[in-house]
Chains A and B, each alone.
Chain A
Amino acid sequence: MKSIIRFIPLILFVLLGALLYRGLFLNPQAMPSAMIGKPLPKFELPRVKSEEQLVGRDDLQGNIVLLNVWATWCIQCKYEHPYLLNIAKDERIKLYGLNFTDDRNAALSWLKQYQDPYVFSIFDEQGALGLDIGVFGAPETFVIDHTGIIRKRFAGPINDTVWKREFLPLIETIEAEMAQ
């Protein structure tokens, strides 16, 4: 009897180990971002290319809107830029930019030098809109559907693999919803 008692710590540990093993296959990070399923917050900000003309939520027209957060200080943005030019040709979506805590002249020369894939870019110098939608860093891309609801947030640069895996299925889903 006494020898069994000495095995109790071991038995407890085995049970704990089984729980931890199970835990490895769960994903606590799968908690959706707070903004997903909610409409884009209201804002009034200038465009990169025009200081005077303020744009707001309703100016992001299109059935499926991609809002790409970028900045000239962001190296990954440079990496994803050529692919954005590619995406912009896709008829199904409209690509808008959110120029995030950046310098206007730098942003303008960037768009000149590398071409401008965006319908227009919002100029968010203070990062106010970025904070509202929970931007951690650039690049990030948000998908907003035909009803104005944020459907997805992707952090990191977009390339062909990412586009096909993360974005195309969602675009098809939204199109199917629109058809109904």
Chain B
Amino acid sequence: MIPELGHFALIIGLAFALCLSIVPLIGVAQNNQQLINSAKPLSLGLFIFLTISICLLAYSFTVDDFSVKYIANHSNSLLPYYFKISAVWGGHEGSMLFWVFALTAWTFAVGAFSKQIEKEFVARVLAIMGMIAVGFILFTLLTSNPFERLLPNFPAEGRDLNPLLQDIGLIIHPPMLYMGYVGFSVAFAFAIAALMAGKMDAAWARWSRPWTVAAWSFLSVGIALGSWWAYYELGWGGWWFWDPVENVSFMPWLAGTALIHALAVTEQRNTFKHWTLLLAIFTFSLNLLGAFLVRSGVITSVHSFAVDPGRGMYLLVLLAIAVGGSLTLYAIRSAKVSSPSRFTLYSRESAILIAMSILITATVTILLGTLYPLIIDAMGLGKISVGAPYFNLVFIPLMILLFLFMGIGPLIRWKKARKGELSKHLNKISVFSVLFGIAWPFLFAGEFSVWAFVGMTLGCWIVLAVLKDVLNNAKQADGRWKFSAVPLNHIGMAVAHAGIAVTVIGVTMVSTYEQEINVKMSPGENVNLSGYTIEFAGTKDVLGPNYSAIQGQVNVLLDGEFVTLLKPEQRTYKVQSMGMTEAGIHTNLLRDIYVALGDPLGNNSWSMRLYYKPFIVWIWLGGFLMAIGGFLAILSKRYRKRVLASEQKRNQSNPMVL
């Protein structure tokens, strides 16, 4: 009964979404206030019924209702309750429901926090988000229904959640990622609404900016969590594999990064409108394309979902309607968009334009690398895979170039920089950065390394540039410092840029100085790993709730002093009879010690992989800093201040409304 109620709630949600995508648009066309005003309550109804639906699915998981096919395939009565709940988004069907739920949450939020925006415009935006919801609820209901029953012969026990997904990282990683993916639909809806209205002033850029930055921040956290999870859970010690599914999350992030910069320019300088429109469409399209690539089985990946060509066809049709439709709209309507470009070569506009071009180039090269196996296969030339060498070859040089402009962007003036002004700002910090980059490898390792030099110089350069920018803003005319005078969105930008620098430093240090040892160890033996003594004390058997494991006891010592006891495990999950490596990791800000248990080699000896990973945690810390920066920027008063002003203006000019 409960699953049927969940199913039914989803269908009612579809009805709400259908109304939301039609009624407000009729209202706008006929200038009928009542119909226009219906958009917000409809989005509330949509959100409520999707909440009911996903809660009922989660409830069915907690009570082990294995008559539901999705639950029988992704849960087990022995599974701890928190994994039962996270299993809601552990497979294809449930993750689609979560996707739609997140979409309706954003839709509702846009409706709730848009009092300052023109009602007609909000009605259009909500209607477009309603259309997206219709597409994806229909997809869920028709091809991927998580409430499908296995009646009358249902299993007494479930097949269990994939052991790889039984992990804290997987409880929060997908929700963050989906919040990011779906969040970009707001920017998309704003862009389409602007094209429909034929009205593209700075106001719509200001309205959609906080939403886009929020989506970008969620996506940053989601990607960082995914990378962190791969690092500690897969047991290879790697943190990024250029796997198609990773690429599919990374491309919208790159395009989204370009989009938030284009939006900033559109809002402040009233130019770059075509960039903003196209990037909003492009970013959202990449999300849809990602959903298609991952869920249709067109591309193989370690993250493959259950594959069904029917789903692929549906998603392709959806992609064609959404992207084809919006690009057609752009082709027809964008002639009306006047985007005067009044800036000289030496200006912040130019720096951002170059940075955006680099970001888009990077996105396209990753897209090509991801699709290349498919292109070759489609032309009948065989099966190949594109690996890390290609991506590193094209991506790293582009990023070096990008980071150079990241230092210039915040310090150069809009429109036209005065002669000598830029060099005045940059001379000291560039000299310092280069010296820092040269000194660092000697201080850390005692010898020069080109990559460490490049990475550390750029990291330092980015941080100093934003620091300088904040100081410039804090310095008052009378020469005193007043940090409260720095606008919050400026601080947000500085924190996010610093986050990039932190990640760059982490990546540089790990790739240059990591150490890996593969060794056979018997109890009592020890090896030296970058100054640490790793001592294998033997193994013992441990029993988890749904697995049994052999646990290594590994002492880590530094200069004879005990640092920590690591417990890497080889787990066997009974139900899926799957072997799993659980690495033992000791983390601090300067390094990780990572121990993975390999195969037993007889006489109690084991093959072991030991890694020393300097600064690796910086990679993910940077991701979180970026998100913090994003959220700080959203809190900025500038969005609310102007909002109040515009509201007052509107209320004065139109006292009847309200």
Q: Considering the complex, which residues of chain A in the window 69-122 have a beta carbon less than 8 Å from any beta carbon of chain B?
A: 71, 73-75, 100-101
Q: Mark B138-155, 1 if CB is under 8 A from A, else 0.
A: 000000000000000001
Considering the complex, give the chain B residue whose CB is closest to the CB of A26. B377
Query: Does B330 sit within 8 A of A, measured CB to CB?
Result: yes
Given contacts A13-B327, A29-B307, contact A24 B296 (CB under 8 A): yes
The docked-state distance in angstroms from the alpha carbon of A74 to that of B160 is: 11
Given contacts A9-B330, A29-B300, A31-B300, contact A3 B335 (CB under 8 A): yes
Considering the complex, give the chain A residue whose CB is closest to the CB of B570. A126
Q: Mark B113-133, 1 if CB is under 8 A from A, else 0.
A: 000000000000000000000
Query: Which residue of the partner chain, among A10, A101, A130, contacts B327 with CB atoms under 8 Å?
Result: A10
Across the interface, do A73 and B316 meet the contact criterion of CB distance under 8 Å?
A: no
Query: Does A165 sit within 8 A of B, measured CB to CB?
Result: no
- Which residue among A3, A13, A17, A136 has the maximum number of chain B CB atoms within 10 Å of its CB? A13
Across the interface, do A17 and B374 meet the contact criterion of CB distance under 8 Å?
A: no
Query: Does B431 sit within 8 A of A, measured CB to CB?
Result: no
Given contacts A101-B577, A136-B578, A137-B578, contact A21 B155 (CB under 8 A): no
Across the interface, do B300 and A28 meet the contact criterion of CB distance under 8 Å?
A: yes
Query: Does B409 sit within 8 A of A, measured CB to CB?
Result: no
What is the total of A-B residue contacts with beta carbons within 8 Å?
Answer: 95
Q: Considering the complex, which residues of chain B in the window 374-397 have a beta carbon less than 8 Å from any beta carbon of chain A?
A: 374-375, 377-378, 383
Among the 9-residue stretches B318-326, B433-441, B559-567, the one with 4 or more Cβ atoms under 8 Å from chain A is B318-326
Given contacts A24-B316, A26-B377, A28-B383, contact A101 B331 (CB under 8 A): no
Query: Mostly helix, strand, loop or mixed at chain A's interface?
Result: helix
Across the interface, do B330 and A22 meet the contact criterion of CB distance under 8 Å?
A: no
Across the interface, do B374 and A23 meet the contact criterion of CB distance under 8 Å?
A: yes
Considering the complex, give the chain A residue whose CB is closest to the CB of B156. A75
Q: Mark B306-346, 1 if CB is under 8 A from A, else 0.
A: 01010011001001100110011011001100000000000
Across the interface, do B334 and A101 meet the contact criterion of CB distance under 8 Å?
A: no
Across the interface, do A135 and B316 meet the contact criterion of CB distance under 8 Å?
A: no
Considering the complex, give the chain B residue whose CB is closest to the CB of A73. B574
The docked-state distance in angstroms from the alpha carbon of A25 to that of B327 is: 26
Query: Which residue of the partner chain, among A7, A22, A28, A136, contacts B331 with CB atoms under 8 Å?
Result: A7
Across the interface, do A130 and B316 meet the contact criterion of CB distance under 8 Å?
A: no
The docked-state distance in angstroms from the alpha carbon of A29 to that of B307 is: 10
Considering the complex, give the chain A residue whose CB is closest to the CB of B281. A9
B13 shortest CB reach to chain A, Å:
28
Q: Mark B358-383, 1 if CB is under 8 A from A, else 0.
A: 00000000000001011101100001
The docked-state distance in angstroms from the alpha carbon of A9 to that of B327 is: 7
Query: Does A1 sit within 8 A of B, measured CB to CB?
Result: no
Across the interface, do B374 and A19 meet the contact criterion of CB distance under 8 Å?
A: yes
Residues of B whose CB lies within 8 Å of any CB of A are 155-157, 278, 281-282, 285, 289, 292, 296-300, 307, 309, 312-313, 316, 319-320, 323-324, 327-328, 330-331, 334-335, 371, 373-375, 377-378, 383, 572, 574-579
Residues of A whose CB lies within 8 Å of any CB of B are 2-3, 6-7, 9-10, 13-14, 16-17, 19-29, 31, 71, 73-75, 100-101, 127, 130-131, 135-138
Please list 20 pairs of residues, one from A and one from B, whose beta carbons are closer than 8 Å in the complex, sorted by A's number: A2-B335, A6-B330, A7-B331, A9-B327, A10-B324, A10-B330, A13-B327, A17-B319, A19-B378, A20-B374, A23-B298, A23-B299, A24-B298, A26-B298, A26-B378, A27-B297, A28-B377, A73-B574, A75-B157, A131-B579
Enumerate the 3 nearest inter-chain pairs by beta-carbon distance, A residue then B residue, closest first.
A10-B327, A23-B298, A28-B300
